[in-house]
């Protein structure tokens, strides 16, 4: 289990989720883009939903339990599309797409 610290708050995510979020978040912040990120809270926190406005001037800390996490280009694309939408980056598990041999 990894975590991200933003504005003094720690939020936990599975390492694989956090690794993909880091790539998308850092890419947007490097371009000077602010955006909304939202996620489903754990059952321990009430099973609700939280959101935060991410801004390039804020410090972020990413902490991982695992040293290496495999990265999925398709998942990065899904999260990037979400981050670029008017609803902001919605933290979600990778949605399976068509296999390579099923693509047009």
Torsion sign (Cα): 53, 54, 60, 63: positive
User: 40 in a domain, yes or no?
Assistant: yes
pLDDT in tens, 37-54: 999 887 777 778 999 999
Total domains, the chain? 1
User: 102 in a domain, yes or no?
Assistant: no
Tell me which residue of 65, 29, 64 sits closest to 37, measured CA to CA. Answer: 29
Task: Give me the domain span that covers residue 41.
Answer: 2-93
Q: Strand pairing partners for 4?
A: 11, 62
User: 100 in a domain, yes or no?
Assistant: no
* Full-model pTM: 0.84
User: 104 in a domain, yes or no?
Assistant: no
User: 98 in a domain, yes or no?
Assistant: no
Tell me which residue of 89, 93, 92, 94 sits closest to 37, measured CA to CA. Answer: 89
User: 99 in a domain, yes or no?
Assistant: no
Point out the residues of the chain with pLDDT beneath 70.
96-104
């Amino acid at each position: 289990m990894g975590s991200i610290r933003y504005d003094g708050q720690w939020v936990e995510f599975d390492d694989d989720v956090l690794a993909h979020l880091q790539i998308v978040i850092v890419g947007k912040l490097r371009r000077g883009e602010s955006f909304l990120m939202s996620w489903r809270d754990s059952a321990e926190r009430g099973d609700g939903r939280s959101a935060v406005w991410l801004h390039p001037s804020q410090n972020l800390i990413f902490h991982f339990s695992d040293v290496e996490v495999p990265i999925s280009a398709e998942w990065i694309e899904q999260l990037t599309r979400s981050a670029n939408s008017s609803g902001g980056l919605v933290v979600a598990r990778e949605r399976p797409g068509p296999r390579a041999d099923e693509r047009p």
